[in-house]
Amino acid sequence: MTAEQYRGRNVLVVGLARSGIAAAQLLHRIGAKVTVNDSKTREALGEALRPLEQLDVIWRLGCGAGELLQGQDELVISPGIPDTAAFIVQAKEMGIRVIGELELAASLWPGRMVALTGTNGKTTTVSLLAQIFADADPAHRTWAVGNIGFPFSQAVLEGSAEDMAVCECSSFQMETIETFHPSAAALLNITEDHLNRHGTMAEYTRLKMRIFENQGAEDFAVFNADDPALEGLDRQVRSRVLFFSRRREAGDGAFVRDGIVMARMGGAEEAILPAKEIYIPGPHNLENALAAVCIAKAMGVPTDSLAQTLRTFRGVEHRIEFTRELDGVQWFNDSKGTNVDSTIRAVQTMTRPTVIILGGSDKHCDFTPLAKEIMASPMIREAVLIGVTANQIEDTLRRCGWDRIHRAYSMEEAVQRCRKLAERGWNVLLSPACASFDMFHDYEERGRVFKQLVMELTGERA
């Protein structure tokens, strides 16, 4: 829908986290009649509501959305709300359009847009791509939006037709798209995640593939040629396919040949830079960089600028983020390791003996692949387990024959245990392989608490 079509339209915004607040602001600006709803009370939401307090919106807080449907033309829902929720089913039966904030913003975005999805690597690759575009075109703004934590609607409020949006898309957000259409989009990988919501891997994969569904022959679809879970999915798209691979040459896209990152477009090859010059470490980050090369070249980024950004981009907070070194021990915050595959990638990056902190809330995932990786790793020496999944992780580790296990009942206790376990020349890695909601508001809070506790450690062992 266009901005003009929203004028006078009754829209109920359900869920007043960051994306809901920004959606309500955007809808109000373009003339919709906005009702804002959250099951939390005004007191519980507190300062989060400040951006809406001077706007002419209808407040319906501390109640369910089901009782507010009558008279609404459209619902804009938080990605945390599954599309199977009873009030959403009811709304659709009443003929009310139901979309998410991502769809709303994308339909009103005036500039260019690219997008990425996948189980792991999204935030790093989106952040890297945003820096690539910003460095290549400093005269115009580049926005990293979506699941990365900055609402797309906020960018629409402030952006222009010359701007670029780099959008991180979750499977939750893909449930409610209709016209979402990036000029270039990438599927980085698919591993087991969010089955507590989606039920099956087939459904999870179907949702990830929706990122390409509105593309045409003039657009680009980027796939990881090294991920067997993606095999054959490229045949389902109508757009021009690019592959990235760190193991082989797989048609047009990006790959490594004799240690050099290469790009191939329409059969024409170009050397980008030596792979060893990419600043962010680890094989998974090489994959992320190759995906970024595909999209950057598809969108016309000059090679010299692209290579320079790859040499200087230092990664993102909470993703194998170096926190400090104390008494010869290096501490790393990988709080964004919220699933098994992500933590496996972090484990593979460790080059020194490591104590790992694992555990959190339950996403109904199998920890066996992680246990086997820990068994095989020459670097993981001890594990400190926290959270709801601690028993499940311990059982899995012991079943696989690994027993260097310690328990902690808070992040503070976990940090103190790691302090005693880690010897000079070791690492401590927080990479929980789980969501954070049993102990923290989100992975960001978990990471910040970890870093604060680490920074408060003194130079003398307890």
Q: What is the pLDDT of residue 438?
A: 84
Print the domain residue range for 15.
3-99
Name which residue leads in pLDDT, 438 or 143. 143
- Is 462 among the domain residues? no
3-state secondary structure of 417: helix
pLDDT confidence band for 460 (50 / 70 / 90): low
CATH of the domain at 147: 3.40.1190.10
| Nearest one of 351, 327, 322, 113 to 220, comparing CA atoms | 113
- One domain, residues 177 and 60: no
The mean pLDDT value for 36-58 works out to 94
Q: Determine how many CB atoms are found less than 10 A away from the CB of residue 336.
A: 26
The arrangement of strands across the sheet holding 58-61 comes to 58-61, 33-38, 10-14, 74-77, 97-100
> What pLDDT was estimated at residue 33?
98
Confidence category of residue 363, pLDDT binned at 50, 70, 90: confident
pLDDT at 19 over 50: yes
Considering the domain architecture, whether residues 127 and 239 belong to the same structural domain is answered as yes
Residue 194 is predicted with a pLDDT of: 64
Q: What is the pLDDT of residue 370?
A: 96
Q: Are residues 90 and 178 in the same domain?
A: no
In a domain, 104, yes or no: no
Q: In terms of domains, do 212 and 306 share one?
A: yes
- Rounded CA gap, 41 and 51, in Å? 16
Say yes or no: 73 and 158 in one domain. Answer: no
pLDDT-derived band at 365, boundaries 50, 70, 90: confident
Strands (E), 101-141: 112-117
- Shared domain for 68 and 126, answered yes or no, is no
In total, how many domains does the chain have?
A: 3
Is residue 246 within 8 A of residue 255, CB to CB? The reply is: yes
Choosing from 291, 312, 333, the residue where a domain stops is: 312
Residue 336: inside a domain: yes
Q: Among 312, 334, 362, give the residue marking a domain's end.
A: 312
Total-model pTM: 0.79
Are 184 and 85 in the same domain? no
Residue 461 has pLDDT above 60, yes or no: no
Type of residue at 434 = C
pLDDT for the residue 193:
67
Tokens of 235: 């045949």
The answer as to whether 117 is a domain residue is yes
Measure the CA–CA gap between 198 and 305, rounded to whole angstroms. Answer: 40
CATH code of the domain covering residue 369: 3.90.190.20
In a domain, 460, yes or no: no
CB neighbourhood size of 228 (10 A):
9
pLDDT-wise least confident of 57-71, 138-152, 188-202: 188-202
Residue 462: which pLDDT band, with cuts at 50, 70 and 90? very low
pLDDT for the residue numbered 149: 83
pLDDT at 63 over 80: yes
Q: Which residues are registered as beta bridge partners of 116?
A: 168, 186
pLDDT at 37: 96
Are residues 236 and 288 located together in one domain of the fold? yes
Pair 359, 431 in one domain: yes
| Domain assignment of residue 461, yes or no | no
Average pLDDT, the chain: 94
| Per-residue confidence band for 23, with pLDDT thresholds at 50, 70 and 90 | very high
The H-or-E segment that residue 121 falls in is: none
Which CATH number covers residue 91? Answer: 3.40.50.720
pLDDT at 254 over 70: yes
CA distance 365 to 434: 9
Three-state secondary-structure class, residue 116: strand
Query: Is residue 170 in some structural domain?
Result: yes
3-class SS shares of the chain: helix, strand, coil, % to 5: 40, 20, 40
- Does one domain contain both 130 and 204? yes
125 domain-assigned: yes
Residues in the chain: 462
Q: What is the Cα–Cα distance from 344 to 39, expressed in whole angstroms?
A: 37
pLDDT score for 168: 96
Same domain, 143 and 269: yes
Q: Does residue 141 sit in the same domain as residue 280?
A: yes
Q: Which of 293, 312, 331 is the endpoint of a domain? A: 312
